[in-house]
Structures are given as structure tokens and as C-alpha cells.
A and B are shown apart, each in its own frame.
Chain A
Amino acid sequence: MNDIVSNVLRYCLFAGIAVLATGLILSEQEYGDWIMRAGVLILIASPFAGVLTAYVCLIAEKDWKWVKIATVLTALILVFLVVSLLRN
């Protein structure tokens, strides 16, 4: 599980930073903001991608006790997101 979670975090981070750096270089251009927006989105999604990957790995390992814990956390994050978006 550790290797897979680490790889997902690493690839998401590298992708996000590469897109952000490109956006910074092209920030004077009309589409520079859109590139940075895409980079930020990839970057901030990385930790949640890590949680989802750990969740899938735990299911694959049939480690049901920790699957329950990961389910609760994933549900909580989603509820928090929805509540925050609705309140604002």
C-alpha cells in the first residue's frame, strides 16, 4: 500500500507543480490564469487522491477494520465539502 499511495501523491504533486510553473511562465498571456487554475486544482486534489488510493488498497488487502475507518473519513471529507459549499 505504501508504495502505491506514495506514487499517487508524487505523480499528482509533480503534475500540479509542472502545470503551475508553466502557468507562472505564461502568466502574461491571456490563457495563463487558466493554466494556473488547472495546476492548483490538480495540486489541492492530491491529498484526497492519496486517501482514496489508501482506501482502495485497504479493500484490496481485505483489511476490513481499516476499510471502515477509511470509509468514515472519506464520507466526512465529502460531507464537510458539501456543507462548506452550501453555507457559503
Chain B
Amino acid sequence: MLIFALIAVGICASTLGTIFGIGGGIVFIPVLTILFDLSAGEAVAVSLVGIISTSTGAAAFHVRRGAANVRLGLLLEITTSIGAMVAALFAVYAENWVLLVIFGCVLIYSAASMMLRKERIIEHSEEGGDMVFSYRNERDPAEKRYEVRNVGSGLLVCTGAGMLSSLTGVGGGTIKIPLMNVHMHIPIKVATATSSYMIGITAFSGAVVYFIHGDLLLDYAAAIAVGAFFGSFIGTRISKRIDAGPLRRYFSVLLLAISAVIFLEAGGIL
């Protein structure tokens, strides 16, 4: 019975995580600690395996259809990883509730930016530029070019996203997607797909450490991963059918909901 419940959690969290490119950790960790009575460390370890299953399933799909930008993902992942590394070294000096409040405020700002500002994509760039890429949208199969702007400042913010996600345990996708979409002018479909690709890479290092130290509850991780596998399959099929406009609106609402959870956690209620 427990295994089936965990598979169901994996399916739900992964479907949500795949549609919005956020991995699903924001769902996995509270559910595993509150409903399944795991310690925070155990929940994080199991969650990382679930995130990898979600992210790999989504990335395989998005990379094949050209929605995920592998090159850009590799670039942004560099500073995200540096942020996570630096944060891991200084984690003991940081008050967790202060970080959670900062994170919550960043999410509210991101949600407001996505709600209030129209998506601005630099579409008619010349071919062959360093930061000009193309993608295809399921709803409109013509190839579209876009130019990535503000790369330097985007990389800097990714360092901050890596730090915050490493210190608070909440996935960096919630910061990286608005950053890519609003600040770097990357289409929302590409931003969510690229975020899915990046999240797995970020989770890999943490998961390996838990695995080698034997801190992973194998049966929990296996059930969550199997559920997440099916969830990523469902999520990719749903995300194909959602247009960019509604996706931005839904994502803003999701960010507000996540920030509410984070404030509850900061206040010690969750």
C-alpha cells in the first residue's frame, strides 16, 4: 500500500514539475516529511531521485523536439553550480528562515514580473549570432529564432539561484524560468524545457553523495522514481497542449502558491 501511495505522489509531483519545468521538489519534500514521516535529510535524498527521474523524462522529450536549449543549459548551469558549491560551504552560517523569506520575496517579485510584463522575444535576429537560437512550437511548427540578451547579468542571477536553492532545498527552476523569460528574453516554452534539462544536472551531484553514503531509502526512492517517470510522460503531453500565454499565467500563480508554502515553512508552521 505504501509503495502505491509513493508512486501516486511521484506521478502527481512529476506531472506538475514537468509542465512548469520545476522538477517537483517543492511537492516531494513537504509530502514526504508530513505524510510519510521522513526526516528532512531522508526526504531530500528521496526527492533528488524523484527530481532526476522527472527531469530526465522531460528533458529527453524536450531536447528531441528542439525546445530545450542544451548549449544555453550548459552555460547557465556553470554559475548555478558555482552558487550551489559556495552555498554548501557557507550553509552553517546562514539562518534558514531568513533565506526562506528572501526566497519567498524573490518568487513574489518573479510572479509579479511575469503577470505584469508582456513576454518580449527578440525574434528577428540575424542568423549566426553567438546567442541566436531557434526552436519549434507544437502549435505552430514554423521554426522561430530568438536572441538571448543580458547573458552576463543572467549568469550572475543564476549564481544567486544556485545559492538559494542549495541553502533552502527548493529547486532553482522557480527563479531561473522567470529570469530566462523576463530578463533574458527566452520564450517561456524554451525556458521551461531548458530548466527541466538543467535541474537533473543540478540534482545529480547531491544524489550521488547521498547514494555513496548509503543515506538513501531505496524502496521509497524506487517507488517515487517509478511514479515520477509516468508523471513526466503525462506532463510532457499536457505541456504540448498549453499555449505560451496561459503557461506564463499559470506559472505566476504557481510561484505565488510556492511562495506561500515557503513563508509557512519560514514561520515554522510547515
Contact = CB atoms under 8 A, between A and B. Distances in A.
Interface of A: 1-3, 5-7, 9-10, 12-13, 16-17, 20-21, 23-24, 27, 33, 36-37, 39-41, 43-48, 50-51, 54, 58, 65-66, 69-70, 72-73, 76-77, 79-81, 83-85, 88
B218 A83 contact: no
A79 B71 CA distance: 21
Interface string B154-175: 0000000000000000000000
A88 B222 CA distance: 24
A36 to B, nearest CB: 4
Interface stretch (B59-67, B100-108, B255-263): B59-67
Contact of B205 (A36, A50, A69, A81): A81
B14 to A, nearest CB: 12
B225 A69 contact: no
Interface class of chain B by DSSP = helix
A52 to B, nearest CB: 11
Given A13-B56, A54-B70, A69-B74, A24 B3 contact: yes
Contact of B56 (A9, A58, A80, A81): A9
Interface class of chain A by DSSP = helix
B167 to A, nearest CB: 15
Interface of B: 3, 48-49, 52-53, 55-57, 59-61, 63-64, 66, 70-71, 74-75, 77-78, 81-82, 84-85, 88, 130, 197, 200-201, 203-209, 211-213, 216, 218-219, 221-223, 225-226, 229
B81 A73 contact: yes
Contacts of A47: 52, 55-56, 59, 200-201, 203-204
B71 A69 contact: yes
A58 B75 CA distance: 13
B10 to A, nearest CB: 11
